[in-house]
Structure 1
Amino acid sequence: MTLDPQGNAPEDLSHAGSVTDKAIEYMIEQGIAPISVASALLGGALGLMARTMEDRAIARVLQSALASVESGELHEMRRSQAEGAGPAQ
């Protein structure tokens, strides 16, 4: 896993995100409820982190996610999606 020039994220993060987006799209098309999709993805992510990362690193990832919620970043994403591409899923 190689970090970008600023040392912020793996260079393959965009690819992984694209694959994940396609998987989500497929599950929604199959009629799987969004909460079930989200729960399965979160559970899988936590399992992967538990197998490959130290607890402190996992805590940093989770703290970053919580900060995104608390700052309103996710609300902005929902609003942008609702304005541009239709209803948020």
Structure 2
Amino acid sequence: MQFDPKGNAPADLSHAGSVVDQAIAYMMEQRIGTLSAASALLGGALGLLSRSMSDEAIVQVLNNAIASVKAGELRADGEGQG
């Protein structure tokens, strides 16, 4: 992610998130399976990251994502914590 000198997220992050939300909604309308849609989005995201980040930086992003999952941060109800 591109941060400004103060560490803030870029101004277009909200717009990018909205576009992804629309793509997800479209895939669900097309009855694309959740796992297929998520796998395609993850693969696309990793491909995009590989254009601008080192492999080690991508691994750190993935490790941060794993830590968030393990901490239950992706579930509002805390369900599924391992």
TM > 0.5 between the two? Answer: yes
Distance in 1, Cα, partners of 2:75 & 2:37: 19
The structural deviation recorded for 1:23 is 0.4
Offset at residue 51 of structure 1 (A): 1.7
Give identity over the alignment, percent.
63
RMSD (Å) for aligned C-alpha atoms: 2.1
CA-CA distance at 1:21 after TM superposition? 0.5
* Residues 3, 11 of structure 1: 8 Å contact kept: no
| Partner in structure 1 of residue 17 of structure 2 | 17
Structure with the bigger percentage of helix: 1
Q: TM-score, normalised by structure 2?
A: 0.80
Match of 2:56 in 1: 56
Rounded to whole Å, the distance in 1 between the matches of 2:28 and 2:21 is 11
Consecutive aligned runs of 4 or more in structure 1 exceeding 3 Å deviation: none
Structure 2: runs of 5 or more not aligned: none
Q: Gaps spanning 5+ residues in structure 1: where?
A: 81-89
Give the aligned partner of residue 39 of structure 1: 39
